[in-house]
Chain A
Amino acid sequence: METNQYDNNMSEALEVATKAGYILLENGAEISRVEETMNRIAKYFGVDTGNYYVLSNGIFTTGNSRKLKKNNPNLLSEQFADVKYIPLRGSRLDKVVAVNQLSRDIEAGKYTIESAGEKLDEISKMPFVKNWFQVLSSGIGSGFFCSIFGGGLRDCLVSTFAGLILWLFVLKVSAPHMSKLLGNMAGSFLSTSFCIIAVNAGLGVSLSHTIIGAVIPLVPGVAFTIGIRDIVGEDYLAGTTRLVDACVVFFGIAMGVAAALLIFNKIFGGLEL
């Protein structure tokens, strides 16, 4: 009876570990962190035969109760296998922090398997910051980044408004209705058009600086940094996947900017970058 209980434990523990890994990976944690956290959680719940193979868009977990079988020859060895597909998505670092904290708490003995599972469900439903706050920070970020890339004060103001409009578009149109590539193209097209019109109306000075500031909220900083981190950590497959993902986004942004410049060049004539 007792061994039976322990057996059930294995698949439950590995399920909880996989769930934690899923949340971490989905929200932009490095591969090494995902593997380490899964291992830590499973070990605390008494499973040390777990194997984890983590890619940037998938987790493979297996385990077996071979050890138990040695102690109790009558017991059939139990196997656990799970494959999870995780689409590449945006990042929510607050969830990464929460799961990290949870794994520490589990190690400190504050959670049972059930309560850890519930806590993970709770974490995966954590609300994001309000929409208006996102729009505001996108605008502010665009403005300050325009100054970082060498724009003057007026350019920064133009970029700020372009950033506001861009994020409204992302929230209302591109995120719910468009694919990644098309959404980025349309978004950068929109904000570049705004910049061109504003600069042509004499509001901004340097077109190239305003455009860089305006499209910066689309730039996949997290995917890029994590991709590099994975490659440095010798997870080449995961790292390249993320870098390619980032490059697709860059490509979309550049296409949108180029399209806007070509079209408005025909309308206004002689645009200078």
Chain B
Amino acid sequence: MTESFDMITQTVWFQFLSGYFGTIAFAILFGVPKQFYNTGGIVGAAGWITCFVLTKHCGFSPFASNFCASVVITFLSRCFAVIKKCPVTVFRISGLLPLVPGIGIYWTIYYMISDNFSKAFETGIIALKVLAAIIMGMVIVSGIPNKVFKTLFSPRRAQNHRSAES
């Protein structure tokens, strides 16, 4: 009974909350301005829940699920960057945190120190694959020209303003 209650953390809704609040907590430590906490949290939670559901419930490999999550995160970050008029970096950094291939690298070094070389190799290769997946997701979405996001999301008011000015 207590065991099953303990593992409540591994349900989808709890993971979503974890992604949201975890992202916000670290966004604070990275000095993200207050008005972006909520948006950053949404980006992080959306990215993490994509990765979690695809891995745990759809049987995707870590590579595929991290790739999808990275696409979702970069896409949402770029949308919000245009909507909120701030650098993409702010959302992307907070959003990518839950995926952290860093943790894989940390385990790799840890296994290396404790002489467990076969495990070190295994986790190291997985960490590199995850890293590659995240980079690929980022590159593909970064390739979309900024114009697309601007025409999609900037309020019509801004465009009128510009034409009035010129």
A interface vs B, CB < 8 Å?
27-30, 33, 91-97, 100-101, 104, 128-129, 133-134, 137-138, 140-141, 144-145, 147-154, 156, 205, 212, 215-217, 219-222, 224-226, 228-229, 231-232, 246-247, 250-251, 253-255, 257-258, 261
A138 touches B87 (CB 8 A): no
| Least distance between A32 CB and chain B CB atoms (Å) | 11
CA distance A226 to B84 in the complex (A): 21
B138 interface residue, CB < 8 Å from A? yes
Q: List 23 A-B contacts (CB under 8 A).
A: A30-B89, A93-B32, A93-B89, A94-B32, A137-B28, A141-B26, A144-B22, A147-B22, A148-B22, A148-B48, A153-B9, A212-B103, A215-B106, A219-B106, A220-B102, A225-B96, A231-B135, A232-B138, A250-B109, A251-B109, A254-B112, A254-B113, A257-B110
| A144-B21, A217-B26 as given contacts; A95 in contact with B31, CB under 8 Å | yes
**Which chain B residues lie closer than 8 Å to A137 at the CB level?**
24-26, 28-29
CA distance A228 to B33 in the complex (A): 23
| Least distance between A55 CB and chain B CB atoms (Å) | 18
**Which chain B residues lie closer than 8 Å to A153 at the CB level?**
5-9
A232 touches B142 (CB 8 A): yes
1/0 contact string of B77-104 vs chain A (CB within 8 Å): 0000000011101101100111011110
A154 touches B142 (CB 8 A): no
B28 touches A246 (CB 8 A): no
**Which chain A residues lie closer than 8 Å to B93 at the CB level?**
28, 91, 93, 221-222, 225-226
B14 interface residue, CB < 8 Å from A? yes
**Which chain A residues lie closer than 8 Å to B142 at the CB level?**
232
Most B CB within 10 A of own CB, among A29, A100, A147, A149: A147
| A137-B28, A152-B9 as given contacts; A219 in contact with B89, CB under 8 Å | no
B144 interface residue, CB < 8 Å from A? no
B interface vs A, CB < 8 Å?
5-10, 14-15, 17-19, 21-22, 24-33, 36, 48, 85-87, 89-90, 92-93, 96-98, 100-103, 105-106, 109-110, 112-114, 131, 134-135, 138-139, 142
A100 touches B5 (CB 8 A): no
Which 9 residue pairs spanning A and B have beta carbons closest together?
A: A141-B25, A144-B22, A254-B109, A92-B31, A152-B6, A147-B9, A137-B28, A144-B18, A137-B25
| Count of A-B contacts judged by CB separation below 8 Å | 157
B22 touches A145 (CB 8 A): yes
* 17 more A-B residue pairs beyond the given contacts A137-B28, A212-B106, A228-B131, with a C-beta to C-beta distance below 8 A: A30-B89, A91-B31, A92-B31, A93-B90, A128-B31, A134-B28, A137-B26, A144-B21, A145-B22, A147-B18, A152-B10, A225-B96, A226-B93, A229-B89, A247-B105, A250-B106, A255-B113
Which residue of the partner chain B has the closest CB to A99? B87
| A29-B87, A96-B89, A221-B102 as given contacts; A205 in contact with B6, CB under 8 Å | yes
Contact of B6 among A91, A154, A220 (CB under 8 A): A154
Most B CB within 10 A of own CB, among A93, A95, A226: A93
CA distance A261 to B116 in the complex (A): 14
| Least distance between B41 CB and chain A CB atoms (Å) | 11
B102 touches A147 (CB 8 A): no
| Least distance between A142 CB and chain B CB atoms (Å) | 8
A129 touches B9 (CB 8 A): no
Contact of B105 among A128, A212, A250 (CB under 8 A): A250
**Which chain B residues lie closer than 8 Å to A134 at the CB level?**
28-29
Which residue of the partner chain B has the closest CB to A129? B28
| Least distance between A94 CB and chain B CB atoms (Å) | 5
**Which chain A residues lie closer than 8 Å to B135 at the CB level?**
228, 231-232
B90 touches A96 (CB 8 A): yes
| Least distance between A141 CB and chain B CB atoms (Å) | 3
A129 touches B31 (CB 8 A): yes
Which residue of the partner chain A has the closest CB to B87? A100
A224 touches B102 (CB 8 A): yes
A250 touches B102 (CB 8 A): yes
**Which chain B residues lie closer than 8 Å to A129 at the CB level?**
28, 31
